[in-house]
Amino acid sequence: MKLSVLDRSRTRVGRTPADALRDTVEFAQQAEALGYHRFWVSEHHGVPGVAGSAPTVLAAAVAARTSRIRVGTGGVMLPNHQPLVVAEQFGVLESLFPGRIDMGLGRSVGFTEPVRRALGHDQRDAAEFGVRLDELLSYFTGEAAVSGYPATGLRVPAFVLATGAGAEVAAAHGLPLVIAAVRGEDAMVRAIDGYRAKFRPSPWAEEPYVVVSATVAVADTTEDAWRLLAPEAWAMAHSRTRGVFPALRPPEEVLALDMSERERRYFEESLRGHVFGTPSEAGKALDGLVARTGADEVLLTTSTYDREALLASYRHLASYHRLTG
């Protein structure tokens, strides 16, 4: 099984955004040593709890401090950027780190209206994702009206991050699909089946390729693994009730909070659908997920307060699945 890592550069109480970014680079080095296939970073804007706002810049830092692991974005939100600029950025990355760069692309825009105004893009840009994707790829193939150097002539593997209709875009463009069970596993499986049925071979991929993204927490006991999920679940509940996505707090602080009924409901909802448990429990759960989806790869993400526990979680999975550094 190919296992990869998505890190969101989450900030933690008592530490700075700069710390979070340095933690991401160090985490990538550790993931490489453990034998993970890829290490991707994310894009978020105007979110106090997430330091990763410039994924191509952060990917460059990660690639410079690693030597074998593939490095990419999960993803660059194409509606937020001009396709030419995105092509140029990935052209520079591929030129500096040949054969190691992935171009994960999403169709989301800023989460709030003020953020969308600051970015100068809105939902109309998201609706044109397929058109913008065509333009982006044309800079690599040399078919664009203007030069995309240094991207022109390069082949940076492109992936579409999708929910729902996004899977159809991936199929129509002949690109690998990255998908999570945002709307439940049944909906995800239907989207994957539709992607495979409608996939059109392209210069970028001859066959369908599916990467399933999952939140996973592993510890020596099931309870300890569940506790690893609490900081992120509280951040989600906090953002949905107060409009601000906060830095991660220690799980013991979260579990001691006197939550309102509404906060408790969102907190519990945010804990559902994830993989957690002992190495055997979580490993078998991932095996089952792959069997049900036919996934070619699993992209793992975990956000928790304790960085040592975070690394131990990935170490457990690497050992269970016999990854090699």
Quick: pLDDT tens for 257-277: 999 999 999 999 999 999 999
Q: Does residue 325 register a pLDDT over 60?
A: no
CA distances from 238 to 47, 51, 260, 262, 282 (A): 13, 18, 11, 10, 27
218, with CB counted inside 10 A (0-12, 13-18, 19+), is: buried
- Number of Cβ within 10 Å of residue 307's Cβ equals 15
Task: State percent of the chain over pLDDT 90.
Answer: 88
Quick: pLDDT tens for 39-63: 999 999 988 899 999 999 999 999 9
The reported pLDDT for the residue numbered 164 is: 63
Task: Report the top-level CATH class of 2-218+279-320.
Answer: alpha beta
The reported pLDDT for the residue numbered 279 is: 96
Q: How confident is the model at residue 113 (pLDDT cuts 50, 70, 90)?
A: confident
The reported pLDDT for the residue numbered 109 is: 84
Q: How confident is the model at residue 324 (pLDDT cuts 50, 70, 90)?
A: low
Q: Does residue 245 register a pLDDT over 70?
A: yes
Mean pLDDT value across residues 284-305 = 97
149, with CB counted inside 10 A (0-12, 13-18, 19+), is: middle
What are the domain boundaries of the chain? 2-218+279-320
